[in-house]
Structure 1
Amino acid sequence: MAAIVPHSANAISAASLLPSAIPFRFPSMPINSSPSTPPPPLLSKTSLSLCNPKPCHLPLNSTSPTHFLACAVSISEPLFASRSVYNSTSPITSGFDLLRLSTRYGDADLARAVHACFLKLEEDVYLGNALIATYLRLGLVQDADKVFSGLSCPNVVSYSAMISGFSKSNREDEAVELFFAMLDSGIEPNEYTFVAILTACIRNMDYQLGSQIHDIIIKLGYLNCVFICNALLGFYSKCGFLELVLRLFDEMPERDITSWNTVISSLVSEFRYDEAFGYFRGMQRSEGLRVDNFSLSTLLTASTGSVKPMKGQQLHALGLKVGLESHLSVSNSLIGFYTKCGSVNDVMKLFEAMPIRDVITWTGMITSYMEFGKSDLAVEVFNNMPERNCVSYNAVLAGLSRNGNGSRALELFIEMLDEGMEISDCTLTSIINACGLLRNLKLSQQIQCFIIKFGILSNSCIETALVDMYTRLGRMADAEKMFHQRSLENDYTAMLTSMICGYARNKQLNEAISLFHSGQSEGAIVMDEVVSTSILSLCGSIGFHEMGKQMHCHALKSGIITDTGVGNATVSMYSKCWNMDDAVRVFDTMNMQDVVSWNGLISGHLLHRQGDKTLEIWKKMEKAGVKPDNITFVLIISAYKHTELDLVDRCRSLFFSMKTKYNIKPTSEHYASFISVLGRWGYLEEAEETIRRIPFEPGVNVWRALLDSCRINKNERLEKVAARCILAVEPKDPFTYILKSNLYSASGRWLYSEKVREDMREKGFRKHPSQSWIIHENRIHSFYARDKSHPQVKDIYSGLDILVLECLKAGYVPDTSFVLQEVEEHQKKEFLFYHSGKLAATFGILLTRPGQPVRIVKSVRLCGDCHTFLKYVSIITRRKIFVRDTSGFHCFADGQCSCKDYW
């Protein structure tokens, strides 16, 4: 069969293939346009019928929607099929057989030997095509190109093979050039050609060229070919035009499993999970179509993303029914699903039952264990991996950093360097986060030097991570320097958000708000889901109710409130801003609630010391079928501290059933919560006995819970025991130094107390002084103890002196035991009178009208004297005074506090 040559009767040109309305040039849309630019409309069904479509019947050997990306095998079939032209005993036929063997066994030398034999023969396009296909199968694109260049009259098969080879070898530009050279030579493309060139468009993300190819496909009448339509679906999906994918799918006269899988995966990629399940139901109703591994894997991803356990379990059952559960991609997707919507046992059982595992499986298990907080098991899996790559290392690094194990993360990073592993942006981001956790100044400087040495400081993720690390270390000057010297081409929004959160973390609240407002006015902040979540969290942390409401309105207006993370942050914001009614309202209107949503609602009621309501939410959560996690049980156990009645029996039952009923092994945090409950209701002996029976070394949080219980119950013996244990468990923790110093001060050993504080200063540890603040007219007014930096300091101090005098008349007796300094009694009273909480309360009373409530946020727990003082202030001023400290909310009214003096 002779090749079609230029200028023949059948010859066509590139220009003749393009619609007359579109000049022969590309792009058909502006160069700088983005996926958000509206693309040209697709032709309607009526217009498609006018194209005189050619019949097309292509064998589909794969049901994966990426089938059109791997068409070399399909293209090579007609190449080798041409052997029937020759006599079965001819040397050429034997050459074809040898070429097949060379591809089967990956023997490039054999292929080249056959090629050398063919060179002695007269040029034959079929032989050339067979050699091209062989070299492409062996990955020898350069050799294939040389064969192609040597053909005097390549045909459509030759061009299609080379376009496909270039497209899949990161040589997309050459594929495009060859395609248009083919058109200019008068050769009409076929189905395989269009799939090959669309592959190049996908890899280049070249919407302009792809839309031109679509026009050519319509003009030549190939749009009825399901094979080509699937390639177009994939192209539009990769370019971000989901609506075009849906329209083209609806217009397809014939669909196969690949068509359905492509549209479903496109919807999942855009987080439109409900629509994806709707199309899946439509696919199931289609005759002759059977769900495959790609369908299940994609829909399991949707179940994971939408946190719909029932749908995922149904898909698991379907996989069992059709025999796909053991398929590697399905099993890997199930691991991801049960990591998000199941328990650690679900994941373990699935992993142990898998007949085949790959590096994705092992990495999935690492991620799963890290998500469940089981770092030791994750590291064990990593150590047992038969094969590791940089993704596996990064999964462990990120997990260790996320779980607070910065030291182990650092060790693993050094191991990566020793083994010569690839160091990616993800690697460096994780190790920077680990340094932030360790709060080691020298180590942070070494990491920064390492990054500068390798010349990757200009990376946006790295710069943002460094800013976050500096703020965690209190190095605000370095953070500000990095922020202002950032690379202009990098993502500004992420670093701006990190800097805002850093200011808030270091109690520079006005700086945080000011930077946010300046970013907004400059248009530098893109209020997407991530930024909105961060700012809502900031508003909750500082108690900025008005700004939080504005952010909520923006989320509603822009539609991002449908994002579960944004919804969760909004619930948390309202609950921390004294507004549980709106927190509950937002929770109830959320499209989807995950375990974080329920935990946020439970945590809000707990902050308001509403133990009974918290337990009601817990019952609703169980009824909804949402699986609790570790945090859920920490919160629920703590709720029994704030119930109206002593419900310790129920708390015991829940605590001891965690392992048997819920398959969650109690951790140090759970024991700490349980000890707090026992201490609240006066069961100190049982608390002490429970600590003795802990099957592991009790963490410092357990002893702190006991210490707090002893402080409230005035048990000096156990208080000393708890203090000694805290000193032994965490001798280098800044809190421990403060505790040790205070113990010396309380016993009158002032010299030893000062030595401890001096040692603390020499080692670089510093205690953040307690801070209290009030928000008035969108400005934060913050105070420290004996603070005189406020512009209205004279009025505040004068007002506070009057308040103290009136409270003393009403019966207030200053508790000087809270002053742990070696000074005279009258000086101790002076110290007490000007605590930050008292200054903030006075300022609030001066600013607001009579009868209006005063709202204060405090960075640490209220001391006993401030608590007593505010009770008397509520009597004298006849006002409600709301205080949020680290233990929760206090409402002082008529001389009483909502915490009932237990906090």
Structure 2
Amino acid sequence: MATLVQPYSSSMPASPSSSYSRLPLSPLLPQNPFFHCPLKLPPLPSRFYSASRAQFLLYPASSVSSSPSLFLSESFNCKDFPDVGDSLVEGLINLLRLSARCDDAELVRAVHAFVLKLEEETYPSNALIAAYLKLDLFSDAYNVFRGLSYPNVESYTRLISGFSKSNREDEALKLFFQMRNSGIEPNGYSFVAILTTCIRIMDLQLGLQIHAMVIKLGYLDCVFVANALMALYSKCGYYEVVPKLFAEITQRDIVSWNTVISSAVNEFMYESAFQLFRNMQAKDALRVDYFTLSSLLSACAGSTAVMEGQQVHAHAIKIGLDTNLSVNNALIGFYTKCGTLNNVVSLFERMAVRDVITWTEMVTAYMEFGLVNLALQAFGEMPEKNSFSYNALLSGFCHNGEGLKALNLFVKMVEAQIELTDFSLTSFISASSLLADYRISKQIHGFVLKFGFGSNACVEAALLDMYTRCGRMEDARKIFSRWQLEEGSSVAWTSMICGYARNGQLNEAISLVHRSQSEGKMVMDEISSSSVLGLCGTIGCQEVGKQVHCHALKLGLLSDIGVGNAVVSMYFKCWNVDDAIKMFNHMPTTNIVSWNALIAGYLLNRLGDKALGIWSNMQKKGIKPDKVTFVLIISAYRQTNLNLVDDCRNLFDSMRTVYGIEPTSEHYASFISVLGYWGLLEEAEETISKMPFEPDASVWRALLDSCKQHKNTIIGKRTAKHILSLEPRDPSTYILVSNLYSASGIWHCSEAVRENMRDKGFRKHPAQSWIISQRKIHSFYARDRSHPHVKDIYRGLEILILECLKVGYVPDTSFVLHEVEEHQKKDFLFYHGPKLAATYGLLMTKPGKSIRIVKNILLCGDCHTFLKYVSIVTKRDIFLRDSSGVHCFSNGQCSCKDHW
């Protein structure tokens, strides 16, 4: 993707303070209007030009002898030739320019040696400084500067600019302050040079002082100075200042417009970027350049504006920029997000010129489409690679869940001494988070400390997140306790809150949210607001979610698409479909994530028909689906009817042919789940056998779930073997296999699996149900007696069971997955977590008020039946969200229609 920060120096005219700066860069010819002297100078020695150079200077014929070295002789003095002094200096200046164009350090040093004999007032010092700087000979340039008795503003400016662009910012700053101390007033070019330094070191405080000086000296009307100021604020993250400054500019050029447009894109204000472009065309009628188009394509990709992106592409073709390298790179990025793989590959193959950015974009594109092998192939074919190329591959592995491959690549990067950036380290740590391996996480922590990255905020945040994902909450707390008092520690609070929720420590998570707000430790920006909203949705805490929603509205954060998507998702997960839809309809801009959130929300609340309606609406609007969209839409066919399975098959087949999206393991798992749900187990198993790549555990697990549902132990046994060979260390796999045997009454096999699991030291997270009451989460496990009101809860549940038995409830002991006596099975059933949570909710809420429960795994059949009868005897609605979606129990019926 082309960079969104355009070099503003391209708009600078030649310096008016220098007569020679107005001379053309090309060799001086007789017809040149800037040179009317009819005289000729003798040819210079051969060391002044190579065979590839033409005769490039005309010298005064009357002033020469037959000796070619006359003008280099030690006895030469301009006073001996009073009529040719100006011509000589101009000729030498053109020699210096030629040396820079031809990268000839010998030539510039020869000219330097020659002109040392001239009088200082005729000495082309600034041209020498410029020539040395262009050849990266900084010491020589500085020596010329130091030899000047009275350096002028141009001398300082050239050196400041050269140092700034060559990673010598400290020297550039010292020179600027030296210039100010000597009483020399900066000009527009000086301001651009020092602002360039501020941009490179992101020194906003100095930039603010320069801004004040610009206003004081009246240079704000200078377009290239104003452009540099806007670039400074944009680079330092103060995007809101850029349009304000832009509005104050009386004269604007294409760079001014490009800067303010790219600033809007960087702030994810895509509609503003489009409107600015329309204003540019209407007001100034400027011809767009490659940078304008690259910025607009980034906006189109970010907002999934398919039609607008295609229009930009068409405009590029119309004005002849469709062959521009930067535009083509931006187009690859756009079609990666908003097109098909065919669009991307076709564009790539038509490109006559490619660079490392092009190849890196292709690696990213293949990874985005889930084609890891093709991404690896493209990476191997790259003519050159840099750290960005490796990082693209590294993050692509993480994006596709290939944690082990990411770790192996990182090891190769270290061995090959590839530059490691913050992004490299955070991707590396994210890869270990995918594996959730305690031992690997310890090794990674040691690596980070050894190589000195431990104090980096981004890396430390990634480590904190890794610890929580590996279940190492004690280690996470240690990092958090060291970091929570530091400036800018919002990310630590956010990670810790999410970590508590991820590890089932729900009260700790909510408590930390309240503490962060009361102590003012966590700035509720777009990222933290989205994270807390996600937490509220996961827990089902609508009260806190609404507070965060109001807070985001008050701070104007709802213009951020990520925050809006988080609000939509939160309301759906908190059983509030109406507010979720209302939020979606009022979002200023949406992207494919927004539409996916809408579809997922309908599926969560078992509104599969409406989810398919959204899919139809997306097709009418021309909204391009992504991989996630197809996973969701395929899953929607579980919530419709058996007659629509053919439609599901057709959709699955059209992914590749119509939309250019290659099916991944996620898509196959979703499709297998639909077939298995409707009892088509043989077809599901056959589909797996015909997959174009090796199925992973998620695909087999989808089939095993269906086998358990339909009690098919024959296919289940074959499926279980595949899962155990792929994920021998995943405790959930053993539980699933054990439950399959238990559900089929094969108790000895079930116990053998559990015994094998215990021997290997595996343990699963226990089933947990919770309810929120009085701003506190009350969690319950099966036969849990840890609650402070346990006696009242058990007494209430016993009464509730008796009342349900009176109206027809019959305990289904087949759901007790242990070989015990019948009365013991009933005891197991009666005190499951959902029943305890429901009883506590009934005891703690007013009559007639609905009960809302969350369960972290699938609801068992007996609890499902029991809660239907509870809704009859209590005349209350009970909402329960499990891993399959939302159940709404009302008057003896469930919204899932007994299919989940």
TM-score range, shorter chain: 0.7 to 0.9
- C-alpha distance in structure 1 between counterparts of 2:599 and 2:199, whole Å: 47
Which has the larger displacement, 512-521 or 472-481?
A: 472-481
CA contact (8 A) 1:257 1:289 kept: yes
Aligned pairs for 1:461-860 (under 5 A) are 461-486=458-483, 488-489=485-486, 491-643=488-640, 646-743=643-740, 753-754=750-751, 756-860=753-857
Which residue does 2:125 correspond to in 1? 128
2:370 equivalent to 1:370: no
- 1:335 is displaced (CA, Å) by 1.8
- Structure 1 pair 229–406 and aligned structure 2 pair: CA distance change class (3 A): closer
Which has the larger displacement, 677-686 or 582-591?
A: 677-686
Q: Residues 386-415 of structure 1, C-alpha deviation per residue, up to 9 Å, x if partnerless?
A: 111222212221221222111000110110
- Structure 1 pair 627–102 and aligned structure 2 pair: CA distance change class (3 A): same
CA contact (8 A) 1:772 1:836 kept: yes
CA contact (8 A) 1:510 1:780 kept: yes
- 1:535 is displaced (CA, Å) by 0.6
- 1:792 is displaced (CA, Å) by 0.4
- C-alpha distance in structure 1 between counterparts of 2:649 and 2:306, whole Å: 29
Which residue does 1:434 correspond to in 2? 431
With the length of structure 2 as denominator, give the TM-score of the two structures: 0.87
2:376 equivalent to 1:379: yes
- Structure 1 pair 137–769 and aligned structure 2 pair: CA distance change class (3 A): same
Which has the larger displacement, 422-431 or 602-611?
A: 422-431
- 1:474 is displaced (CA, Å) by 1.2
- C-alpha distance in structure 2 between counterparts of 1:99 and 1:109, whole Å: 11
Give the alignment partner of residue 405 of structure 1, picking from 402, 405, 409: 402
Cα RMSD (Å) of the superposition? 3.1
SS in 1 for 2:483: coil
Which residue does 1:42 correspond to in 2? none
2:401 equivalent to 1:460: no
- 1:204 is displaced (CA, Å) by 5.2
- C-alpha distance in structure 1 between counterparts of 2:323 and 2:739, whole Å: 61
Give the letter for the 2:845 counterpart: T
SS in 1 for 2:268: coil
- C-alpha distance in structure 1 between counterparts of 2:218 and 2:180, whole Å: 16
- 1:447 is displaced (CA, Å) by 0.9
Give the alignment partner of residue 874 of structure 2, picking from 848, 859, 877: 877
CA contact (8 A) 1:891 1:898 kept: yes
CA contact (8 A) 2:14 2:22 kept: no
Which residue does 1:330 correspond to in 2? 327
**Percent of matched pairs sharing the same residue:** 62
- 1:334 is displaced (CA, Å) by 1.4
Q: Residues 231-281 of structure 1, C-alpha deviation per residue, up to 9 Å, x if partnerless?
A: 444455546666665455445454332233233333333333333333322
CA contact (8 A) 1:727 1:740 kept: no
Q: Residues 814-868 of structure 1, C-alpha deviation per residue, up to 9 Å, x if partnerless?
A: 3333333343332222122211111112111222233322211111101122222
2:149 equivalent to 1:152: yes
Give the letter for the 1:826 counterpart: H
- Structure 1 pair 153–720 and aligned structure 2 pair: CA distance change class (3 A): closer
Which residue does 1:68 correspond to in 2? 9
- 1:647 is displaced (CA, Å) by 2.2
- C-alpha distance in structure 2 between counterparts of 1:583 and 1:422, whole Å: 45
Give the letter for the 1:781 counterpart: H
Gaps of 5+ in 2: 29-34, 42-58, 61-70, 73-87
- 1:757 is displaced (CA, Å) by 3.4
Give the alignment partner of residue 417 of structure 1, picking from 414, 438, 455: 414
SS in 1 for 2:876: coil
- C-alpha distance in structure 2 between counterparts of 1:415 and 1:304, whole Å: 32
SS in 1 for 2:638: coil
Give the letter for the 1:466 counterpart: L
SS in 2 for 1:192: helix
Which residue does 2:352 correspond to in 1? 355
- 1:219 is displaced (CA, Å) by 6.6
- Structure 1 pair 324–704 and aligned structure 2 pair: CA distance change class (3 A): same
- Structure 1 pair 64–285 and aligned structure 2 pair: CA distance change class (3 A): farther
- Structure 1 pair 201–802 and aligned structure 2 pair: CA distance change class (3 A): closer
Give the alignment partner of residue 119 of structure 1, picking from 110, 116, 119: 116
CA contact (8 A) 2:264 2:273 kept: yes
Give the letter for the 2:114 counterpart: C
Give the letter for the 2:159 counterpart: M
- 1:737 is displaced (CA, Å) by 1.8
CA contact (8 A) 1:65 1:230 kept: no
Which residue does 2:158 correspond to in 1? 161
Q: Residues 198-240 of structure 1, C-alpha deviation per residue, up to 9 Å, x if partnerless?
A: 4344445556665665666667665654444444444555466
- C-alpha distance in structure 2 between counterparts of 1:537 and 1:217, whole Å: 46
- C-alpha distance in structure 2 between counterparts of 1:227 and 1:748, whole Å: 81
Which residue does 2:338 correspond to in 1? 341
- C-alpha distance in structure 1 between counterparts of 2:299 and 2:668, whole Å: 36
SS in 1 for 2:888: strand
Which residue does 1:15 correspond to in 2? none
Q: Residues 459-485 of structure 1, C-alpha deviation per residue, up to 9 Å, x if partnerless?
A: 222222112111111111111122113
- C-alpha distance in structure 1 between counterparts of 2:476 and 2:180, whole Å: 57
- Structure 1 pair 670–130 and aligned structure 2 pair: CA distance change class (3 A): closer
2:891 equivalent to 1:894: yes
Give the letter for the 1:127 counterpart: P
Gaps of 5+ in 1: 1-62
Which has the larger displacement, 201-210 or 849-858?
A: 201-210
Which has the larger displacement, 74-83 or 692-701?
A: 74-83
Which residue does 2:65 correspond to in 1? none
- 1:186 is displaced (CA, Å) by 6.1
2:151 equivalent to 1:139: no
Q: Residues 615-674 of structure 1, C-alpha deviation per residue, up to 9 Å, x if partnerless?
A: 111111112211111221221122222226732232233233222222223333333333
- Structure 1 pair 679–175 and aligned structure 2 pair: CA distance change class (3 A): closer
- C-alpha distance in structure 1 between counterparts of 2:475 and 2:245, whole Å: 53
CA contact (8 A) 2:407 2:431 kept: yes
Give the letter for the 2:120 counterpart: E
- Structure 1 pair 199–102 and aligned structure 2 pair: CA distance change class (3 A): same
Give the letter for the 1:902 counterpart: H
Which residue does 2:317 correspond to in 1? 320
Give the letter for the 1:66 counterpart: P
- C-alpha distance in structure 1 between counterparts of 2:897 and 2:299, whole Å: 47
- C-alpha distance in structure 1 between counterparts of 2:209 and 2:663, whole Å: 62
CA contact (8 A) 2:782 2:832 kept: yes
Which has the larger displacement, 735-744 or 559-568?
A: 735-744
Aligned pairs for 1:178-217 (under 5 A) are 178-179=175-176, 181-182=178-179, 189-203=186-200, 205=202
CA contact (8 A) 1:71 1:164 kept: no
SS in 1 for 2:124: helix
- C-alpha distance in structure 1 between counterparts of 2:815 and 2:502, whole Å: 27
Q: How many aligned residue pairs are there?
A: 841
- Structure 1 pair 870–72 and aligned structure 2 pair: CA distance change class (3 A): same
CA contact (8 A) 1:72 1:164 kept: no
CA contact (8 A) 1:79 1:129 kept: no
Which residue does 1:55 correspond to in 2? none
- C-alpha distance in structure 2 between counterparts of 1:699 and 1:203, whole Å: 47
- C-alpha distance in structure 2 between counterparts of 1:81 and 1:691, whole Å: 73
CA contact (8 A) 1:75 1:160 kept: no
